[in-house]
């Protein structure tokens, strides 16, 4: 049985780019696709969608596969009844080994039907791609985790380690109720695990359907937003005065725009610059390797800084994102405000970055306020060979010659909340995307059929290795 499945995987993986169609799928893949389609087609965007309904749908599917009520926990709060989630537990045979937690968020970014070529909440398959809001971010992963547990239950097999799954809401909407945060604060024992597997890793193609890299996310930056404000009595615009709220704010923003936070490395980013750079073979790759070996190499840093992602991956970044000022066209502004969003390199508190920005501006007329929600700043997970080793072994099996690189996210995921309560969280390899981003958070979000199906097989084999 296993040999036949792996042969099918190999055939699908080696198919010409973009040629995998729904009718080519194995029976188990067809059943999985129907479950995924049902999940994707439930609108879980805020404020009008319902994660609670999506969680209940997944719970019903798992009950049909043999899970009992005491193995499934649906949760929501009175204040946020439509932002609920699901925790499922598949007991393992070992009482000694700690569980593994599989996590995915089921909320999605809002999608306006008039802007899309297709209905964003109807999953369609065209030219070898699935199109729908959330297919990439991260409902395909949620469906894979549920399907993994359901296959164990259907076969009557117990993994050695207990497997837990958390499908949560709130990751995509800043300031919304966040299920992962709530579980970490209120149901820590329910999700207790040695480590968690999450979104954030994955593969990249050359734009022609060929996977050229797989990555595991090991750590991420801390998200923080500051409000910069200036205030004064204002007055009539015919009598300008030197203490102008708009000018004070503008001068502050000019100073911030010129401020460069220092270059830093973690074990993860050093490994990424070394390994990914060695795999490139171009001038940028050589500079990445040189910088990993010698962070004081200014010539190498100058080359690397020309790439926006790499530049940001080396340091804290802060950028103004919104402005508000004035109350009338013929009056001096009594208030001016700017929102500055920072992505903070591991090891620095939000308060320390606020203080650094205030020192750069060096104007007591400009106030700095940390805006809620204030997120924790957990340490990066360790580069644990018990976790990374099986990932690397299976990448070599599924994509011979394709490197597995360690990377730190410039953004953030729900790993922030798990790491803060002592559950190291890794973004998994497996599914891949195209260089254009596949419409994630934008229009016509899509994921290649091969990416979903081969990624599913990879992830289920990975979970089996880690759990046994």
pLDDT of residue 6: 37
pLDDT of residue 436: 94
For residues 218 and 406, is the Cβ–Cβ distance under 8 A?
A: yes
Instruction: Write the DSSP string, 163-174.
Output: EEEEEES-SSST
Domains of the chain (ranges; CATH) run 2-220+379-467 (3.40.630.10), 222-244+317-375 (3.30.70.360), 262-315 (no CATH)
**Cis, peptide link before residue 373, omega less than 30° from 0:** yes
92 to 51, 99, 160, 391, 468: CA distances (angstroms): 28, 8, 5, 21, 9
Alpha-carbon gap, residue 392 to 307, rounded angstroms: 27
117 to 9, 100, 129, 201: CA distances (angstroms): 31, 39, 14, 28
Alpha-carbon gap, residue 246 to 250, rounded angstroms: 6
Which candidate, 298, 296, 274, places its Cα nearest to that of 286?
274
pLDDT of residue 20: 52
Which candidate, 178, 186, 189, places its Cα nearest to that of 375?
178
pLDDT of residue 370: 97
Alpha-carbon gap, residue 66 to 80, rounded angstroms: 29
pLDDT of residue 13: 42
pLDDT of residue 10: 40
For residues 25 and 463, is the Cβ–Cβ distance under 8 A?
A: no
**Cis, peptide link before residue 47, omega less than 30° from 0:** yes
**Residues 6+ positions from 123 with CB-CB distance below 8 Å:** 36, 37, 40, 41, 130, 131, 132, 135
pLDDT of residue 24: 86
For residues 190 and 123, is the Cβ–Cβ distance under 8 A?
A: no
Alpha-carbon gap, residue 332 to 326, rounded angstroms: 7
Alpha-carbon gap, residue 349 to 148, rounded angstroms: 38
* Token pair of 332 as six digits: 């001096």
Which candidate, 73, 83, 87, 88, places its Cα nearest to that of 52?
83
Alpha-carbon gap, residue 344 to 411, rounded angstroms: 9
pLDDT tens digits in sequence order for the chain, 468 residues long: 333 333 334 434 433 344 456 568 999 999 999 999 999 999 999 999 999 999 999 999 999 999 999 999 999 999 999 999 999 999 999 999 999 999 999 999 999 999 999 999 999 999 999 999 999 999 999 999 999 999 999 999 999 999 999 999 999 998 899 999 999 999 999 999 999 999 999 999 999 999 999 999 999 999 999 999 999 999 999 999 999 999 999 999 999 999 999 999 999 999 999 999 998 889 999 999 999 999 999 999 999 999 999 999 999 999 999 999 999 999 999 999 999 999 999 999 999 999 999 999 999 999 999 999 888 989 899 999 999 999 999 999 999 999 999 999 998 899 999 999 999 999 999 999 999 999 999 999 999 999 999 999 999 999 999 999
Strand order in the sheet with 129-131: 124-126, 129-131, 446-448
Alpha-carbon gap, residue 107 to 263, rounded angstroms: 34
Alpha-carbon gap, residue 245 to 13, rounded angstroms: 60
């Amino acid at each position: 049985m296993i040999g036949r499945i792996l042969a099918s995987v190999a055939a699908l993986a080696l198919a010409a780019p973009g040629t995998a169609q729904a009718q080519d799928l194995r029976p188990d893949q067809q059943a999985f696709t129907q479950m995924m389609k049902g999940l994707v087609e439930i609108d879980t965007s805020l404020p009008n969608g319902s994660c609670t309904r999506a969680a209940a749908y997944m719970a019903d599917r798992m009950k049909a596969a043999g899970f009992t009520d005491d193995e499934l926990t649906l949760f929501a709060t009175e204040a946020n009844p439509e932002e609920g989630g699901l925790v499922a537990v598949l007991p393992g045979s070992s009482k000694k080994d700690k569980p593994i937690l599989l996590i995915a968020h089921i909320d999605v970014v809002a999608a306006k039907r008039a802007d899309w070529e297709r209905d964003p909440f109807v999953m369609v398959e065209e030219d070898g791609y699935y199109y729908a809001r959330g297919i990439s971010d991260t409902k395909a992963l949620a469906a894979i985790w549920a399907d993994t547990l359901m296959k164990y239950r259907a076969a009557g097999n117990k993994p050695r380690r207990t497997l837990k799954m958390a499908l949560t809401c709130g990751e995509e909407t800043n300031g919304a109720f966040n299920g992962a945060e709530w579980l970490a604060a209120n149901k820590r024992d329910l999700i207790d695990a040695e480590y968690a597997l999450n979104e954030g890793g994955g593969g990249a193609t050359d734009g022609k359907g060929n996977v050229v890299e797989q990555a595991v996310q090991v750590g991420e930056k801390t998200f923080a937003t500051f409000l910069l404000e200036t205030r004064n009595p204002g007055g009539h615009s015919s009598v300008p005065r030197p203490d102008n709220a708009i000018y004070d704010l503008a001068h502050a923003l000019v100073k911030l725009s010129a401020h460069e936070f220092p270059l830093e490395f973690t074990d993860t980013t050093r490994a990424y610059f070394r390994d990914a750079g060695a795999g490139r073979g171009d001038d940028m790759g050589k500079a990445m390797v040189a910088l990993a070996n010698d962070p004081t190499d200014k010539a190498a840093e100058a080359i690397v800084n020309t790439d926006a992602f790499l530049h940001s991956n080396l340091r804290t970044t802060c950028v103004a994102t919104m402005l508000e000022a004035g109350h009338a066209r013929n009056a001096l502004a009594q208030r001016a405000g700017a929102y500055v969003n920072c992505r903070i390199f591991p090891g620095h508190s939000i308060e320390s970055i606020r203080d650094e920005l205030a020192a750069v501006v060096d104007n007591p007329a400009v106030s700095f306020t940390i805006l809620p929600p204030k997120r924790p700043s957990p340490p990066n997970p360790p580069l644990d060979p018990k976790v990374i080793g099986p990932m690397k072994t299976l990448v070599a099996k599924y994509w011979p010659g394709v490197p597995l690189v360690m990377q730190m996210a410039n953004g953030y995921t729900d790993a922030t909340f798990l790491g803060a309560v002592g559950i190291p969280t890794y973004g998994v390899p497996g599914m891949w995307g195209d260089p254009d981003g596949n419409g994630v958070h934008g229009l016509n979000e899509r994921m290649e059929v091969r990416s979903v199906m081969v990624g599913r097989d990879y992830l289920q084999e990975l979970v089996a290795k880690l759990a046994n």
